[in-house]
Amino acid sequence: MKIVCIGGGPAGLYFGLLMKKLNPAHDVTVVERNRPYDTFGWGVVFSDATMDNMRQWDKETADEIQEAFNHWDDIELFFKGHRIRSGGHGFVGIGRKKLLNILQARCEALDVKLVFETDADSDLDYPDADLVIASDGINSKVRTKYASVFKPDIVTRPNRYIWLGTHRLYDAFTFDFQRTEHGWFQAHIYKFDDQTATFIVECPEHVWLAHGLDKADQNDSIAFCEKLFADNLQGAKLMTNARHLRGSAWLNFQRVVCDQWWLKNENGAHVVLMGDAVHTAHFAIGSGTKLALEDAIELTRQFQRLGDSPAKIGEVLETYQSLRSVETLRLQNAAWNAMEWFEVCGARYCDQLPPEQFMYSMLTRSQRISHENLRLRDAQWLGGYERWFAERAGVKVPANMPAPPPMFTPYTLRGVTLKNRVVVSPMAQYSCVNGLPGDYHLVHLGARAMGGAGMVVAEMTCASPDARITPGCPGLWNDEQGAAWKRIVDWVHANSDAKIAMQIGHAGPKGSTNAPWQGAGADLPLETGNWPLISASAQPYSADTAVPKAMDRADMDRVKADFVAATKRAAAAGFDWLELHCAHGYLLSAFISPLTNHRKDDYGGSLENRLRWPLEVFAAVRAAWPADKPMSVRISAHDWVDGGITPNDAVAIARAFKAVGADMIDVSSGQVSPDQKPTYGRMYQTPFADRIRQEAGIATLAVGAISEADHVNAIISAGRADLCAVARPHLANPAWTLTEAAKIGYVPMPWPKQYLSGKQQMESLFAREKAAQAQAIEAAKISA
Ligand SMILES: Cc1cc2nc3c(=O)[nH]c(=O)nc-3n(C[C@H](O)[C@H](O)[C@H](O)COP(=O)(O)OP(=O)(O)OC[C@H]3O[C@@H](n4cnc5c(N)ncnc54)[C@H](O)[C@@H]3O)c2cc1C
Ligand SMILES: Cc1cc2nc3c(=O)[nH]c(=O)nc-3n(C[C@H](O)[C@H](O)[C@H](O)COP(=O)(O)O)c2cc1C
């Protein structure tokens, strides 16, 4: 085959040499516009796994790269006069020039033709090529030329960065955050050879503009950065090797992803994108080179598997695209979290979090490194952090004892202290008759109160019969219901040290429907016995549900009075905590979301207007609720529908509730519209809780796909939320919290006295399982 690679970066060079190695009969040319040593950039980082992969494909290059690597373990943070260091992170770095020179030399040894200082204008310039590799980098001309086929999706990110170098040698991957009068800058610094370290400086666009860096040339920019990071540089100079770039050397990262990766051109040659031309990965995760090298490996693997002849190219390229696009998406998603963290850290974390917690937040920014993973990397640092966290939570930890993990530290709001950070999330059971909770609820809530969580939240409970979602929903509209709830609250208090919360709500446009297992199913009207619905506007929840009445002021007064009466009954029943349900498309949520509120009066239009009545209800309820007991508000922080509530609005909503006395925001999302398109994933709503906590300055309760102690520990440790609510896992296992404590080996976990023999057995079973896993890993290592 005749193969031409346009672009001699890592992708083009590596693919060229692998194909030549696969079959020396291939005629392979790499065309590069620069001279062999003229390259932009400093060091690149990758992992041991990438090296193992490369070793299998070309031991010679892998060995040479290995030889040239700089390996380091520690991450060090410079922040507000603190230096914090943690170990076990395991990176390898190599100079980009060195890497390219190794690849170039290997290409030459294998007889790959290298053509330098040639700007390839088009794939059509190579009429006798069977395969053209467009490895021409992020600004790929080939991709642009065939944009209608490749359909690139290019997102330009808001931060500015400059890629510099220094001869000051750092012995850790170093991050330095510096505040100026206009905002925060951060430097990402890592050594990549015996004399040089990469020094990337990054800041938000508005900070960059405020400092006039858009008008600064490279020398001015370097002088600015040297002054800003003077303490860290200790007199060392910063350098650029992008002198060939004109104007400002400050760039915006561009996230590139393509729909289609290959085509057949008018010469009949196949053209395929590779490396940065088809996808990018942000330097915060440092995997762009890894992706480029792995593209080259995968394409070679498919030629080896399916046949390396012109007839097979189409099939090979199709397989390459389907495999690599999935992997790329996975990595880009992980890189996205890390990139966003650095984009918002100035506004969201730098001023809000103490240095210790800032370090934790930074280390877990991609949400791929968990709490227990940090323990594996550096148990001593994590132990110190857990001690710091526990002491701030008021726990006195004896010097010779480990601190409890953050999940098991107490939390106090107003006069109520929860023994730990786990909350059983409210879950409708649809099992009442006439709104009366019975033995079912006593057993259901009682079992979960004994299961180790700090607090159990009762399901949405309705302030009037027409406020119910289904006929099976509980109520607090009469004294009989109040007494039935009191029996449950008293039982929980007498038999456990969990707190119990009441969640009050009104179904609004989503009322008068079936329980999930009845009739036509959830969210659909009852077959008989429907009651009239009310909402912010006369808009049904879906095409299948009844049209509600748009509430008038008299309706608002009546419903508000019902909420207040229910609150008084909840207080009399002895609940420890009250939550107002303003989420999921129910009545109060229907006022807040622009998707469901189309009013033209003072209660519709702007967010301020849409919040007016929900805030009025909150204030009335707060006044009726004991001052020493907390109140939270559950909101939908994202409607997942264009034109609906966004996480940005959620911050404003949280601020508004905080201003009328809310103590905590319970951050859920969605269920406001049947058209929603949520992006599910583990802890998928936690970023909203995090943002609200930092930007609105109010405590948050994170919920949604939090299913392991490791999740809870990471969320609480990083300060993304103050509490974590866990719903579905508690349906499968009422003792979820006790189980998770045993799983992570937290032996001091208190258990109900009647269950203590179960504790010892569970702990030793998990310990045995862990030991067997460790043994299996060791055995695998030995046999490898
Ligand atoms: C600040 C920063 C830090 C980074 N840090 C890391 C890191 O730590 N680890 C990591 O893995 N990655 C990192 N990357 C990303 C990494 O540099 C790229 O992902 C990687 O180089 C992609 O390889 P490539 O071969 O696809 O493209 P490139 O390396 O961009 O190579 C493309 C080549 O094509 C040539 N070319 C372009 N057009 C033509 C043409 N028309 N004719 C001839 N030649 C042409 C260019 O001159 C260039 O040499 C970083 C990137 C930036 C911007
Ligand atoms: C069966 C069931 C009933 C629910 N009922 C309520 C409810 O009454 N009030 C509420 O705010 N959320 C309710 N939810 C939502 C949960 O509280 C929680 O937010 C959601 O299930 C996500 O958490 P998870 O991933 O831990 O399950 C319910 C969820 C389930 C599974």
CB 586 within 8 A of CB 505: yes
Ligand 2 atom at minimal distance to the Cα of residue 727: 26
- CA pair distance 202, 597, nearest whole angstrom: 41
Give the residue-averaged pLDDT of 218-238: 95
**Alpha-carbon span 707 to 725, nearest angstrom:** 10
Question: 275 near 143, Cβ under 8 Å?
Answer: no
- What's the pLDDT score for residue 331? 84
Closest-lying ligand to the alpha carbon of 702?
Answer: 2
- Closest-lying ligand 1 atom to the alpha carbon of residue 161: 1
Q: What is the mean pLDDT of residues 194-209?
A: 94
238-239 and 455-462: which strand pairing? unpaired
Q: How far apart are CA 523 and CA 344, in angstroms?
A: 38
CB atoms near residue 183 (< 10 Å): 16
694 or 287: which carries more pLDDT confidence?
694
Residue 113 CB coordination number (10 Å): 14
Q: What angle do CA 202, 203, 206 make, to 5 degrees?
A: 150
Which tokens belong to 664?
């905590």
The CA-CA-CA angle for residues 752, 758, 761, to 5°, reads 140
Q: Is the pLDDT of residue 248 over 90?
A: no
Confirm or reject: Cβ of 426 under 6 Å from ligand 2: yes
3-state secondary structure 115-184: ECCCCCCCHHHCCCCCEEEECCCCCCHHHHHCHHHHCEEEEEEEEEEEEEEECCCCCCEEEEEEEECCEE
Which residues sit opposite 178 in a β-bridge? 185
pLDDT at position 242, please? 67
State residue 780's pLDDT score: 73
Say which residue the tokens 């995760």 belong to: 285
With beta carbons less than 8 A apart as the criterion, state whether 515 and 603 touch.
no
Question: pLDDT, tens digit, for every residue of 514-526?
Answer: 999 988 888 899 9
**668 in helix, strand or coil?**
strand
> Is residue 479 scored above 60 in pLDDT?
yes
Q: Which atom of ligand 2 has the smallest separation from the CA of 668? A: 19
pLDDT of 296 over the 70 cut: yes
Q: Does residue 96 surpass a pLDDT of 80?
A: yes
- The catalytically annotated residue of 586, 680, 684, 755 is 586
**188 C-beta neighbours (distance < 10 Å), count:** 20
- Paired strand residues for 534: 549
Total number of residues shown for the chain: 784
Shortest-distance ligand to the CA of residue 458: 2
In whole angstroms, give the CA distance from residue 367 to residue 299.
30
Ligand 2 centre to CA of 459 (Å) is 9
Q: Is 44 helix (H, G, I), strand (E, B) or coil?
A: strand
Q: Is 208 left (phi over 0), alpha (psi -120 to 50) or beta?
A: alpha
Q: How far apart are CA 693 and CA 357, in angstroms?
A: 14
With a 6 Å cutoff on the Cβ, whether 152 touches ligand 1 is no
Q: What is the pLDDT of residue 38?
A: 65
Dihedral (CA of 701, 702, 703, 708) sign: negative
Tens of pLDDT, residues 407-445:
999 999 999 999 999 999 999 999 999 999 999 999 999
pLDDT at 281: 87
- Whole-angstrom distance, CA of residue 75 vs CA of residue 174: 6
Distance 502 CA to ligand 1 centre (A): 56
Establish how many alpha carbons lie within 13 A of residue 393's alpha carbon, considering only the half-sphere containing its beta carbon.
Answer: 28
pLDDT at 783: 63
What is the rounded CA–CA span in Å between residue 139 and residue 9? 13
Rounded to an integer, the average pLDDT of 560-573 is 98
Higher pLDDT, 174 or 331: 174
The pLDDT tens digits for 719-739 are 999 999 999 999 999 999 999
Of the ligands numbered here, which is closest to the C-alpha atom of 140? 1
Is pLDDT above 60 for 567? Answer: yes
What is the reported pLDDT for 528? 92
Q: Which of 389, 150, 119 is nearest to 259 (CA)?
A: 150
Q: What is the mean pLDDT of residues 277-297?
A: 89
**Residue 187 Cβ contacting ligand 1 at under 6 Å:** no
Residue with the nearest Cα to atom 18 of ligand 2?
A: 727
- Going from the Cα of 289 to the center of ligand 1, the distance in angstroms, rounded, reads 7
Ligand nearest to the CA of 30: 1
- pLDDT for 39 equals 61
Is residue 653 within 8 A of residue 635, CB to CB? The reply is yes
pLDDT in tens, 42-62: 888 877 788 889 999 999 999
Residue 543 CA to residue 520 CA, distance in Å, equals 14
The H or E element containing residue 233 is helix 230-233
Q: What is the mean pLDDT of the chain?
A: 94
Please say if the pLDDT value at position 782 is more than 80: no
CA of 182 to the centre of ligand 1 (A): 32
Cβ atoms of residues 418 and 410 within 8 Å: yes
CA gyration radius, the chain: 30
**Percent of the chain beyond pLDDT 90?**
86
Residues 6+ apart with CB under 8 A from 70: 43, 92, 93, 94, 191, 192, 193, 194
Residue 197 Cα to ligand 1 middle (Å): 18
State the Cα–Cα distance between residues 15 and 11, nearest whole angstrom.
Answer: 6
Q: Name residue 395's amino acid.
A: V
Give the percent of the chain with pLDDT over 70.
98
Mean pLDDT calculated for residue range 581-596: 98
What mean pLDDT is predicted for residues 198-202?
Answer: 94
- Band (pLDDT 50/70/90 cuts) for residue 247 is low
Identify the pLDDT of residue 571: 98
Measured CA to CA, the distance from residue 724 to residue 718 in angstroms comes to 13
φ, ψ dihedrals at 334, nearest 5° = -65, -40
The phi and psi torsions of 156 (rounded to 5 degrees) equal: -90, 120
93 Cβ closer than 6 Å to some ligand 1 atom = no
- Type of residue numbered 185: F
Q: Is the CB of 160 under 6 A from ligand 1?
A: no
**Ligand 2 center from residue 755 Cα (angstroms):** 28
Is the CB–ligand 1 distance for residue 163 below 6 Å? yes
pLDDT over 80 (residue 607): yes
Q: Is the CB of 16 under 6 A from ligand 1?
A: no
Residue 604 Cβ < 6 Å to ligand 1: no
Average pLDDT score over residue span 703-707: 97
Residue 684 annotated as catalytic: no
Tokens at 752, concatenated:
């109900």
Of all atoms in ligand 2, which is nearest to the CA of residue 505?
9
Contact indicator for 9, 316 with CB cutoff of 8 Å? no
Q: 504: burial class by Cβ within 10 Å (0-12, 13-18, 19+)?
A: buried
| Confidence band of 544 (pLDDT split at 50, 70, 90) | very high
Alpha carbon separation from 397 to 394, 407, 416 (Å, rounded): 9, 15, 22
Question: Does 703 contact ligand 2 (Cβ within 6 A)?
Answer: yes
Residue from 425, 633, 640, 707 whose mutation best tests the ligand 2 pocket (most atoms within 8 A of CB): 425
Instruction: Give me the long-range contacts of 81-89 (CB less than 8 A, separation at least 24).
Output: 82/355, 84/355, 84/356, 84/359, 85/172, 85/381, 86/359, 86/363, 86/374, 86/377, 86/378, 86/381, 86/382, 87/377, 87/378, 87/381, 88/376, 88/377, 88/378, 89/173, 89/377
| Dist. CA 440 → ligand 2 center (Å) | 18
Residue 454 pLDDT exceeds 90: yes
Q: Sorting pLDDT into bands at 50, 70 and 90, what band is 700?
A: very high
Q: How far apart are CA 43 and CA 62, in angstroms?
A: 17
Is residue 92 predicted with pLDDT exceeding 60?
yes
Q: Is 501 in the pocket of ligand 2 (CB under 6 A)?
A: no
